[in-house]
Amino acid sequence: MARYQSHGTGLCEPSQFARLGKGVVFEVGALIFHPENIEIGDDVYIGHQTILKGYYKNRMTIGTGTWIGQQCFLHSAGGLFIGSYVGIGPGVKMITSYHTDLGVDRAIIANPLEFSAISIGDGSDIGINATILPGVSIGRGVQVGAGAVVTENMPDYSVVVGVPARVVRMRQS
């Protein structure tokens, strides 16, 4: 019996997805786990070495016309909903789970996992190396600055920057 077990190779066939739209591009080195829980709309681009970390439960949904840069990590254990025509810069991380803290008598990693969905509204843009934490809802047309760490919900058409991210202005029509 092997001491360690893999969760798979990250390679899959188009027929394994819950839904795979037309015109989807997966660049070399993209890895996909649990494609049966991943829905991808039409004309989506997924960059080199990006990981779509589906989970045995909950859903990852990526809307039509979305562009995902290289070396992103998108995790959907708690559910991940990305709208249509969203830009996701290289190196972006989205994580939908965290370990509870039951006190110092136990290693944090030994504590139970909690799950909380992330939602990204249509037409938003997530800057290079930004991080979106569990339970965050980002509204429509939101611009998230490079390197921002988004820890709370952001309103439609806001521009957010910093660690932790904060609204610096509203976009105008």
The residues annotated as belonging to the active site are 99
* CA–CA separation, 80 and 63 (whole Å): 11
3-state DSSP call for residue 14?
A: helix
* CA–CA separation, 19 and 159 (whole Å): 32
* CA–CA separation, 80 and 122 (whole Å): 13
- Give me the long-range contacts of 41-45 (CB less than 8 A, separation at least 24): 41/65, 41/66, 41/84, 44/68
Estimate to the nearest angstrom the gap between the alpha carbon of 40 and the chain centroid.
13
Asked whether 165 and 149 are in contact (CB, 8 A), the reply is: yes
